[in-house]
Structure 1
Amino acid sequence: MDHSWSWRVLSDSQVVQVREAALSHIEQHGFAVQHEALLARARARGAHVDETQGRVRVSRSLVAELMAEVPRQYTIANILGETWVIGGTGQYGTAIVTDPWIIDYETRKPRHPCLEDVRRHTIVAEQLEPIVSISRMDYPVTDVTGADSSLRALEAHLLHHTRHYQVMATGLDSFDQWLGIAEILGRGGDYRQLITSAVAVRSPLVLNKLNGELLVRSVEQGFAVVPTVCPMAGSTAPYSLAGTLIQSHIEVLMIALMAQALRPGHPVEYVSGLSVTDLRSGSDLYYTLDKVLWKNAAVQLGLAENMPVGAECGGALTHRYDVQTGAEGMLFMLAAHTSGAHRIAGFGSYHNAVGMSAEMMVIQQAYLRAARHLARGIRTEEPFLGVG
């Protein structure tokens, strides 16, 4: 992450303003936690807890104390013994291998995933230079019916890569399944660094019982935690860039604060995925140009909190390989790379974040290489001047 220049969309005073607004809300109004054990832990750490409403308010001084416990960096590993420090000087990538829609190479149209898609995409992701971790959506494949469909897809995924496992458990059974996998892959040793566990916040500002339990179990197992924070401006968040950004910041802090209440020093990465509601249809517009501003601003906020920070790397609103997809994708990648994020995630994603392809993974790797070239700028010291 040796940039000659970086991209910032917020001034220093704006970063302070957003953080102050978030702190004020957390102190005065708080957030909802629908998990009794977490409420008890929050109270034990000094938070103001209203058990009747399930609301947690945290004073500014306690927020500062808890956030100071979040590690600035943490280490992830794979089954080969390779390790990567998230929050250090490197910038690493995370790929996805399936989505509700796969953009078929032959027809150029979306279709639902089959088993071969999962296998091929996993192999491609394994080979890409920036990729150190891979996530797989728990989604059935069309050529295997019944309850075995997702299991067969998981099997194909596990058999074809050695990267770090970015786990997005859909429930407690899914989490326990991944825990069993980690124990096997750990070969009787320490498996904690093999898995990063995603924990969602339900916008606006609710940590429900299921996600609260996923957070508790993730911390108990020693898995680094990545918040899944996806407020939609105009429906689950204010219809403004700044308002949705503040809400997103609070929701990330919710996970960080509750994780520290459970175990001081537990690693949490600052990640958020803000989007816009189409007010005509109510649908989510995930990859608009607002995303360029939001992802960059979110990284600034995460760095201001002294946390390891991730950013979504690319995407486009359409499923076509055309000028729009190219322009949007390169702009998103440039914003992510030059933001200073430690991890850039979502290689392969486009089609408004509900579709992906192996081809897009490769294309986005090329976007990243172009972004690196632009960020390096022009070197003018010798021997690069060429006039000595």
Structure 2
Amino acid sequence: MSFTFSKERRGYHILDDAGVLAIHDATMKLMGEYGVRIFGQEAKELYRKAGCDVDAGSHMVKFPRDLVEWAIEVTPGTFTMCGREPKDDFVLGDGTVSFTSFGTGLQMFDIETGEVRETKTEDLENFARFCDAIPEINAFTTAVAAQDAPGPLKDFYEAEAIFKNTTKHAILDAENGHNARAIIDMGIAIAGSAQALRERPFFTLCMCPNSPLEIHDGASQVIIETAKAGLPISILSMGLAGGTTPATLAGTFVVTNAEILAGIVLTQLVHEGNPVIYGSSTTVMDMRRATSPVGAPEHGMFGAMVAEMGKYYDVVTKVGGT
């Protein structure tokens, strides 16, 4: 199987055609010879039945190249992100750029008191209403965490706060499969039926791998439950070059690519043709402060790599940052 390069090359490019091929080939070698650590029995069984080499003791899954490339091939290159109302619909993968809020902040500057404090449900509600009113923002991502909510219920408080305060497409977090299923049930109640939600999914569930090269049990469950429901999935890798991933940009991006593709394979094994967003908020590690500088120049360079690979694979892409 081979992919093709887009003739249209606008904007900033960090990878030429040879560089894209080198990243892809190195990723296939990494996934095939070393593998990705996958937790979750159902996920591992799906991989095994598809021809992957699954080590039960180490949880390492090695991927045949043809399986990975099949999953890329069947992933839609364009799809509609539906709002609760058709006026809020927008298309991903049509060559235009869309915008969403960044997530998920844990602290904020309180404009009333001038203090920095932990975020709460009311803040999320306010952010949702604010973004709902801005036409340039196409979708709403969980901007801040509802840290005043009881721990096990946080995902539900956040989903409710968003559903009640914007009709735009929502990009939501779920800690595990149980929470994902419950949020999907909330969506079914709003849409009127499971079929209505499948036909016009007004939210996406987001899953983040653990860099380097790990998908934890909760994340694999989120993929499975979301794909079963036929809803879009955002797979967002968040490596730190020089920290959790190699110090070189190319080395880190190979790891990033492998993490995302492992999630895409699982998605398509559950529901062939399911919408997936190939996402990254990968950046470099600030060695002095041990922080994740999303405003670093290298973060933008990784974003450009994501765009290049997305065009080559013909999949929808998403990058985070400032």
Structure 2-normalised TM-score? 0.86
1:262 partnered with 2:262: no
Sequence identity of aligned pairs in percent? 19
Task: Evaluate the alpha carbon distance shift between residue 138 and residue 182 of structure 1 in structure 2; reply closer, same or farther with a 3 A threshold.
Answer: farther
1:103 partnered with 2:109: yes
Counterpart of 2:50 (choices 45, 49, 60) is: 45
Query: Quick one: distance in 2 between partners of 1:132 and 1:121?
Result: 14
Contact 1:165 1:196 in 2 (8 A): yes
Query: Quick one: distance in 2 between partners of 1:247 and 1:101?
Result: 30
1:131 partnered with 2:131: no
Task: Evaluate the alpha carbon distance shift between residue 271 and residue 149 of structure 1 in structure 2; reply closer, same or farther with a 3 A threshold.
Answer: closer
Contact 1:231 1:244 in 2 (8 A): yes
In the TM superposition, residue 131 of structure 1 has moved relative to its aligned partner by: 1.9
Contact 1:138 1:150 in 2 (8 A): no
1:226 partnered with 2:234: yes
Counterpart of 1:249 (choices 257, 262, 265) is: 257
Q: Secondary structure at the match of 2:146?
A: coil
1:210 partnered with 2:218: yes
In the TM superposition, residue 87 of structure 1 has moved relative to its aligned partner by: 1.3
Give CA-to-partner distance per residue, 1:48-101, whole Å, 9 cap, x none: 222332222122223222221111112221221343222124322212476212
Counterpart of 2:80 (choices 55, 65, 75) is: 75
1:8-47 pair list within 5 angstroms: 8-47=13-52
RMSD, aligned α-carbons? 2.7
Query: Quick one: distance in 1 between partners of 2:289 and 2:9?
Result: 43
Contact 2:141 2:171 in 1 (8 A): yes
Task: Evaluate the alpha carbon distance shift between residue 151 and residue 65 of structure 1 in structure 2; reply closer, same or farther with a 3 A threshold.
Answer: closer
Query: Quick one: distance in 2 between partners of 1:18 and 1:161?
Result: 39
Name the larger-Rg structure.
Answer: 1
Counterpart of 1:177 (choices 159, 179, 182) is: 182
In the TM superposition, residue 115 of structure 1 has moved relative to its aligned partner by: 5.0
Structure 1: 5+ residue stretches without partners: 316-388
Task: Evaluate the alpha carbon distance shift between residue 185 and residue 248 of structure 1 in structure 2; reply closer, same or farther with a 3 A threshold.
Answer: same
Contact 2:12 2:304 in 1 (8 A): yes
Q: Secondary structure at the match of 1:309?
A: strand
Query: Quick one: distance in 2 between partners of 1:161 and 1:286?
Result: 26
Contact 1:137 1:168 in 2 (8 A): no
Give CA-to-partner distance per residue, 1:27-66, whole Å, 9 cap, x none: 2111111122222211222222223322221222232222
Query: Quick one: distance in 2 between partners of 1:98 and 1:118?
Result: 10
In the TM superposition, residue 138 of structure 1 has moved relative to its aligned partner by: 6.8
1:87 partnered with 2:103: no
Contact 2:234 2:276 in 1 (8 A): yes
Counterpart of 1:157 (choices 162, 174, 188) is: 162
Query: Quick one: distance in 1 between partners of 2:190 and 2:30?
Result: 43
Task: Evaluate the alpha carbon distance shift between residue 25 and residue 51 of structure 1 in structure 2; reply closer, same or farther with a 3 A threshold.
Answer: same
In the TM superposition, residue 108 of structure 1 has moved relative to its aligned partner by: 6.2
Query: Quick one: distance in 1 between partners of 2:137 and 2:252?
Result: 30
Contact 2:181 2:225 in 1 (8 A): no
Query: Quick one: distance in 2 between partners of 1:41 and 1:97?
Result: 31
Amino acid at match of 1:308: V
1:311-350 pair list within 5 angstroms: 311-312=319-320, 314-315=321-322
Q: Secondary structure at the match of 1:184?
A: helix
Contact 1:86 1:308 in 2 (8 A): yes
Task: Evaluate the alpha carbon distance shift between residue 150 and residue 167 of structure 1 in structure 2; reply closer, same or farther with a 3 A threshold.
Answer: closer
Give CA-to-partner distance per residue, 1:176-234, whole Å, 9 cap, x none: 33123201210235113122111121111111211111111111111111112111112
Mean Cα deviation higher: 72-81 or 195-204? 72-81
In the TM superposition, residue 18 of structure 1 has moved relative to its aligned partner by: 1.1
1:58 partnered with 2:63: yes
Q: Secondary structure at the match of 1:190?
A: helix
Give CA-to-partner distance per residue, 1:226-262, whole Å, 9 cap, x none: 1121111122101121111111111111111111122
Query: Quick one: distance in 2 between partners of 1:40 and 1:150?
Result: 27
In the TM superposition, residue 294 of structure 1 has moved relative to its aligned partner by: 0.9
Task: Evaluate the alpha carbon distance shift between residue 37 and residue 115 of structure 1 in structure 2; reply closer, same or farther with a 3 A threshold.
Answer: closer
In the TM superposition, residue 152 of structure 1 has moved relative to its aligned partner by: 6.0
Amino acid at match of 1:54: H
Contact 2:15 2:308 in 1 (8 A): yes
Query: Quick one: distance in 1 between partners of 2:158 and 2:42?
Result: 34
Structure 2: 5+ residue stretches without partners: 1-7
